[in-house]
Structure 1
Amino acid sequence: MDNLDKFQNIIVGKVIKLIPLSLLHKSELVAASSDGNLSELWFTNVPNEKTIDQYIDVALSGKSKGIALPFVVQDIASGKIVGSTRLCNIDIDNRRAEIGYTWYAKSYQRSGVNTDCKLLMLSLAFEQLNAIAVEFRTHYHNHVSRTAIARLGAKQDGILRNHRIHPDGELRDTVVFSIIESEWPLVKKSLLFKQSQYLN
């Protein structure tokens, strides 16, 4: 994978823009997560007013270490920040990365936002960073996320049991999916078709 320094620009899609995350996005992200009270979902990690500072600190720390590229998701039509996503756990030597920390305001879910976002993020990983595999990880009980990842064309690799300990002591089982380099052309074709359906 290539050095990450040159991948700091805004990425423009058909429905959204991916804008590099900064402290300037703090209030807009809190407003977006309040749409649907997303931070109250026990199986996700969506920031609220109390946790937004730590959320941004972790994201920017990963960026400074060269293991993450965090973005906010901006709806082009309204200009509103509607969520966030991140290329994370970037492994330059082994040409692997994970797309994670993805969430959208409730009113923008089940729209063309996720299709456009995943098309941009996967294109970044496979076509610009030269990845050979891209992972997706989600909570075992996050069935909406699991279904959405499978619909992308990702294949389930397995389940990491007792993978993480949450602050409240809950033990999380993590479901791991991936798309490999040889699968990307067909996945891209499928995403472009889905995108065309939303745009019509």
Structure 2
Amino acid sequence: MTRFIEPVTLAGTHAMLEPLSHAHEDEVKAAAADGELWKLWYTSVPAPEQTRAWLDTALDMRDRLHAMPFVVREIVDGRPGAVVGATRYFNVDPVNRRLEIGHTWYARRVQRTAVNTECKLLLLAHAFEQLDCIAVEFRTHWMNHQSRAAIARLGAKQDGVLRNHQRMPDGSLRDTVVFSIIASEWLAVKRHLQYRLDLPR
């Protein structure tokens, strides 16, 4: 049976998205250690001892639920460098041609750089231009103000807030902010992301 999302490597000038595998375990640990990202209580970045379980869960989502998890590899001087984060397509609805981009995190040293902008451009272009999606969603914790601002800067529009949407590992309840980009908006969003990538750094 043909999958809605086949494994694919997406490459740009600043970053490359590579399908996740167990072979990435040590590189994922190293990336998450830059900033000790697992200490941010409202994210799901794996602590070192939880990396294998995080990988197992991501790959299980791929096998059972049509998801496609990626590691983010930095490109330096035109060549692939270190893994600096992770992201994935998930909540995939092949019938209605919708998906969500999320489970995204980056090592501290590449946060607020061109890496995230280019990764979103690559993922959105593949979703709208190759998978023929009609909508792409982004969701984040109400308390993750940095993530909410970053999603809005992409050009996504806020759809609403799902109150008490999920129970967090610490027992707290998450209010989830939902954003989306629809197919008719894609051209404008694409031009906006390309413009941001072309700005002097």
2:111 counterpart of 1:109: yes
Match of 2:199, SS state, is helix
1:26 maps to 25
Identity, % of aligned positions: 53
1:193 maps to 195
CA contact (8 A) 2:8 2:18 kept: yes
> 1:163 Cα shift?
0.4
2:143 counterpart of 1:144: no
2:120 maps to 118
Residue 175 (structure 2) aligned to one of 173, 176, 182: 173
2:9 maps to 10
1:97 maps to 99
Runs of 4+ aligned residues of structure 1 deviating over 2 Å after TM superposition are 2-5
TM-score (norm. length: structure 1): 0.95
CA distance in 1 between counterparts of 2:159 and 2:13 reads 31
CA distance in 2 between counterparts of 1:98 and 1:20 reads 16
> 1:168 Cα shift?
1.6
CA contact (8 A) 1:4 1:66 kept: no
1:56 maps to 55
Residues 176 and 28 of structure 1, relative CA distance in 2, 3 Å threshold = same
**Superposed counterparts of 1:59-70, under 5 Å:** 59-70=58-69
Of residues 45-54 and 17-26 in structure 1, the stretch that sits farther from structure 2 once superposed is: 45-54
> 1:154 Cα shift?
0.3
CA distance in 1 between counterparts of 2:88 and 2:169 reads 22
CA distance in 2 between counterparts of 1:196 and 1:123 reads 17
CA distance in 2 between counterparts of 1:4 and 1:14 reads 27
Q: Structure 1 regions of 5+ residues with no counterpart? A: none
> 1:66 Cα shift?
4.4
CA distance in 1 between counterparts of 2:119 and 2:39 reads 23
CA distance in 1 between counterparts of 2:196 and 2:170 reads 39
Match of 2:158, SS state, is strand
Counterpart residue type for residue 27 of structure 2: E
CA contact (8 A) 2:65 2:91 kept: no
- RMSD, aligned α-carbons: 1.3
Counterpart residue type for residue 121 of structure 1: L
Equivalent pairs counted in the alignment come to 197
CA contact (8 A) 1:160 1:175 kept: yes
Q: Structure 2 regions of 5+ residues with no counterpart? A: none
CA distance in 2 between counterparts of 1:4 and 1:94 reads 11
**Superposed counterparts of 1:66-81, under 5 Å:** 66-77=65-76, 79-81=81-83
